[in-house]
Amino acid sequence: MDSWQNKKITVLAGGVGAARFLYGLQYIHPPDLITAVCNVGDDLSWNGLHVCPDIDTLIYTLAEVEGDFGWGIQNDSHQTLDELETLGEERWFQIGNKDLATHLIRNRILQTGGTLSDATQALVEARNIKSRIIPATNDPHPTFVVTNEGRLSFQQYFVERRGEPQVSEFDFPNIDQVSAAPGVIEAIKNADYLFFAPSNPFVSIDPIIQIPTVRDSILESKALRVGISPIVGGKAIKGPAGAMLESLGHEVSAYGVARIYEDLIDLFIYDEIDSKLVTKMESLSIKTRYCDTMMLNRKSRVTVAANIKELITSHTNEST
Amino acid sequence: MDSWQNKKITVLAGGVGAARFLYGLQYIHPPDLITAVCNVGDDLSWNGLHVCPDIDTLIYTLAEVEGDFGWGIQNDSHQTLDELETLGEERWFQIGNKDLATHLIRNRILQTGGTLSDATQALVEARNIKSRIIPATNDPHPTFVVTNEGRLSFQQYFVERRGEPQVSEFDFPNIDQVSAAPGVIEAIKNADYLFFAPSNPFVSIDPIIQIPTVRDSILESKALRVGISPIVGGKAIKGPAGAMLESLGHEVSAYGVARIYEDLIDLFIYDEIDSKLVTKMESLSIKTRYCDTMMLNRKSRVTVAANIKELITSHTNEST
């Protein structure tokens, strides 16, 4: 079990799936040894406020205040949103009154010369979170979804159009100008374990790893690089990953995801419900393992983190 | 009575006093002939949002949603403010959830290239207000209050320090760079009646009339220029005007205010409770009249507007 002690863990993270994994991880590992590098491709400007859905989901989940569907704050109210609607404003993106406090603090920091890293750190500290959460980049790096209804921002596609349009392609228009935020490259290079969280491979993980210096640092990292499947029993636990895999011609399964990550990872972990995929998985050039990965409540998140720790420990012992 | 019909009315306006006067005026005169030129010297950045206390007080009062103390929105709640406090933020400036909707719409317009004039017009239209409300300027034009506790922004002086410090001077640091907003000069020059609302002469009216082109346009205007006293019975109806008059060496009375405006107005109206000032008033180079000017409820605001209309009509008839 020594292989796990005092190790530096970095997690490439999207929203809900990553947040649940990080929540469990914090219980079985010193939080100050854990860094989440978080996607910002879903960020949006809401009435001129910079909103970071993935970062906020991580913060709220680790602070145990997350809403029932994994985003926003629990028991929030909507008087500001109601008033905006009274004044003739569109209401497709829902922001609660408590949630607004986050965006106001971030806004103040950004308007007074701070970076998204600065704002994120302030919000993490304000909620007494001991792990590090850092944005993948401080540069504008939006994800556009090319669909049969046209090119949509991620939130237009996912929230306004409820993920219904057929996806043909993703577009990161700024990718050539994007630099990794401070600490990202170091967190990846210096990690002992680098996780690809159980997040959407296309719109959560890819916007991070498409940043050229990030991709290079993953390839150069001495970390054990571990992917965790967001697809269980042929379906995404949350969000549009299943529909995206299908419309882009991938197999809608943990195996489909493993193939996407094959060139970048050493070990792929998927749910035991998909144990029938084991033969296919063994055809890959990477190691694969399965265990219970279902993280629907807080207790099960800790169980899953412990399961994954055990798989990694046994994998490491086999390899040495 | 014909002298009043179809006349263009422009009101130089601060917050609560001006809002109450405009509310009454709207009842006795076509709202589309009324323009309020509003002070922005009290504006502040609240978590990076541009907040305009005076403009918002005018809008909320004319829309009949103003809070009990003349600012904010009635029956508002404070979940966002509570959450900010939970996160360690200072709470000296109170903004309710409904009020926030105003600042978010303004923020979106300013962040996407619009001016404060654009934002104000959008907010006026969203609340179906038929009078025009325009900011005195779209440029940053803050009022600083020089006190025995140092140089404070107006909101620091008035809200954070509750108007307690002793005032020695006012400072408009940007005054030489400030241009009048679109429509301001025209509204003053083309007015038939130009009112100096019953607002604070130092921090509501002076920041408007110190704008060089505004002062010139007042002097050149063919309008009947009418000042209304914010001081009744030796006290300000609202706010720190009384304390400021005193600490700056003026008489704390309607007469003290009339002397300040003497070079810029033709007629000064004060409350009948101060009729004992009539001899002093007659020593001024301008005409003065008194009537009931108390506007504590909506009905009395209309009465006061009607009283003022009658005084002006009789003044005009005497003059011709």
How many Cα atoms within 13 Å fall on the side-chain side of residue A39?
A: 33
Helices first, then strands: H and E counts in chain B? 13, 14
Question: Hey, what are A316's tokens?
Answer: 């490491």
Percent of chain A with pLDDT over 70: 99
CA distance A64 to chain B (A): 14
Q: B97 and A98: CB-CB below 8 Å? A: no
Q: What is the pLDDT of residues A203-238, one digit of tens each?
A: 999 999 999 999 999 999 999 999 999 999 999 888
Residue B3 is predicted with a pLDDT of 67
The DSSP line for A52-81 is: -HHHHHHHHHHTT-B-TTSSSBTT---HHH
Residues of A in contact with B96 (CB under 8 A): 79
Cβ count near B32 (within 10 Å): 10
CATH architecture of the domain A9-319 equals 3-Layer(aba) Sandwich (3.40)
Q: Residue B122: is its pLDDT beyond 80?
A: yes
Residue B1 is predicted with a pLDDT of 46
The closest alpha carbon to A250, from A238, A237, A236, A264, belongs to A236
**Cα(A35)–Cα(A39) distance, integer angstroms:** 13
Q: A101 and B80: CB-CB below 8 Å? A: yes
Buried b (16+ CB within 10 A) or exposed e, A105-127: bbbbbbbeebbbbbbbbbbbebb
Q: Residue A152: is its pLDDT beyond 90?
A: yes
Cβ count near B63 (within 10 Å): 16
Contacts of A205 (CB under 8 A, 6+ apart): A12, A14, A39, A196, A197, A199
**Cα(B144)–Cα(B177) distance, integer angstroms:** 16
Cβ atoms A143, A163 nearer than 8 A: no
Residue A92 is predicted with a pLDDT of 83
Which pairing describes strands A231-232 and B150-153: parallel, antiparallel, or unpaired?
unpaired
DSSP assigned state of B181: P
Q: Residue B237: is its pLDDT beyond 90?
A: no
Q: Could you tell me the pLDDT band of residue A268, with boundaries at 50, 70 and 90? A: very high
Residue A319 is predicted with a pLDDT of 74
Report the SS3 class of residue A269. strand
Cβ count near A69 (within 10 Å): 9
Determine the longest span between alpha carbons in chain A, in angstroms.
65
Residue A3 is predicted with a pLDDT of 67
Q: A77 and B79: CB-CB below 8 Å? A: yes
Residue A1 is predicted with a pLDDT of 46
Residue A315 is predicted with a pLDDT of 87
Residues of B in contact with A76 (CB under 8 A): 79
Q: A98 and B80: CB-CB below 8 Å? A: yes
Q: What is the pLDDT of residues A162-197, one digit of tens each?
A: 889 999 999 999 999 999 999 999 999 999 999 999
CA distance B109 to chain A (A): 8
Percent of chain B with pLDDT over 70: 99
Residue with tokens 């914010």: B230
User: What are B's interface residues with A at a Cβ cutoff of 8 A?
Assistant: 45, 47-49, 73, 76-77, 79-80, 82-84, 86-89, 96-98, 100-102, 104-105, 107-108, 110-112, 123, 126-127
Q: Which residue of A has its CA nearest to B97?
A: A80
The closest alpha carbon to B199, from B164, B157, B168, B241, belongs to B241
DSSP assigned state of B1: -
Average pLDDT of the residues in B108-118: 97
Question: Hey, what are A75's tokens?
Answer: 């028991």
Residue with tokens 């009384």: B242
Q: Which residue of A has its CA nearest to B89?
A: A105
**Cα(B3)–Cα(B317) distance, integer angstroms:** 8
Residue A272 is predicted with a pLDDT of 97
- Length of chain A equals 320
Buried b (16+ CB within 10 A) or exposed e, A5-17: eebbbbbbbbbbb
Q: Could you tell me the pLDDT band of residue A50, with boundaries at 50, 70 and 90? A: very high
Residue B77 is predicted with a pLDDT of 96
Q: How does the average pLDDT of chain A come out, rounded? A: 95
Q: Residue B296: is its pLDDT beyond 90?
A: no
| A25-29, A84-88, A113-117, B66-70: least confident range | B66-70
Q: Could you tell me the pLDDT band of residue B319, with boundaries at 50, 70 and 90? A: confident
DSSP assigned state of B180: P
Which residues are A37's β-sheet partners?
A12, A134
User: Residue A86 corresponds to which amino acid?
Assistant: T
Contacts of B253 (CB under 8 A, 6+ apart): B231, B234, B274, B277
Mutation target to probe the B interface, by most B beta carbons within 10 A, among A104, A110, A125 is A104
**Cα(B264)–Cα(B287) distance, integer angstroms:** 12
Rg (C-alpha) for chain A, rounded Å, is 19
**Cα(B250)–Cα(B272) distance, integer angstroms:** 21
**Cα(A77)–Cα(A79) distance, integer angstroms:** 6
Q: Residue A296: is its pLDDT beyond 90?
A: no
Percent of chain B with pLDDT over 90: 89
Question: Hey, what are A71's tokens?
Answer: 């985003």
- Residue B140: exposed, middle, or buried by beta-carbon count in 10 A (0-12, 13-18, 19+)? middle
Residues of B in contact with A127 (CB under 8 A): 87
**Cα(A66)–Cα(B176) distance, integer angstroms:** 50
The closest alpha carbon to B221, from B199, B182, B195, belongs to B195
For B9-42+137-319, CATH gives: 3.40.50.10680
Contacts of A65 (CB under 8 A, 6+ apart): A73, A74, A127
Query: So what's the ipTM on this one?
Result: 0.91
Question: First vs last Cα of chain B: how many Å apart?
Answer: 13
Average pLDDT of the residues in A55-74: 94
**Cα(B241)–Cα(B243) distance, integer angstroms:** 6
How many Cα atoms within 13 Å fall on the side-chain side of residue B271?
A: 17
Q: Residue B242: is its pLDDT beyond 80?
A: yes
As a three-state string, the secondary structure of B120-172 is HHHHHHHCCCCCEEEECCCCCCCCEEEECCEEEEHHHHHHHCCCCCCEEEEEC
The closest alpha carbon to A22, from A153, A171, A132, belongs to A132
DSSP assigned state of A91: -
Residue B234 is predicted with a pLDDT of 93
Cβ atoms B71, B99 nearer than 8 A: no
| pTM for the model | 0.93
Q: Residue B89: is its pLDDT beyond 50?
A: yes
Report the SS3 class of residue A190. coil
Residues of A in contact with B80 (CB under 8 A): 80, 97-98, 100-101, 104
Among the partner residues A82, A87, A112, nearest to B105 by beta-carbon distance: A87
Q: Could you tell me the pLDDT band of residue B68, with boundaries at 50, 70 and 90? A: confident
User: What are A's interface residues with B at a Cβ cutoff of 8 A?
Assistant: 45, 47-49, 73, 76-77, 79-80, 82-84, 86-89, 97-98, 100-102, 104-105, 107-108, 110-112, 123, 126-127
**Cα(B187)–Cα(B132) distance, integer angstroms:** 10
Q: What is the pLDDT of residues B16-65, one digit of tens each?
A: 999 999 999 999 999 999 999 999 999 999 999 999 999 999 999 999 99
Question: Hey, what are A141's tokens?
Answer: 């790096």
Cβ count near B183 (within 10 Å): 16
Residue A2 is predicted with a pLDDT of 56
Cβ count near A132 (within 10 Å): 18
Which pairing describes strands A44-46 and B44-46: parallel, antiparallel, or unpaired?
unpaired
Cβ atoms A51, A15 nearer than 8 A: no
Q: Residue A264: is its pLDDT beyond 60?
A: yes
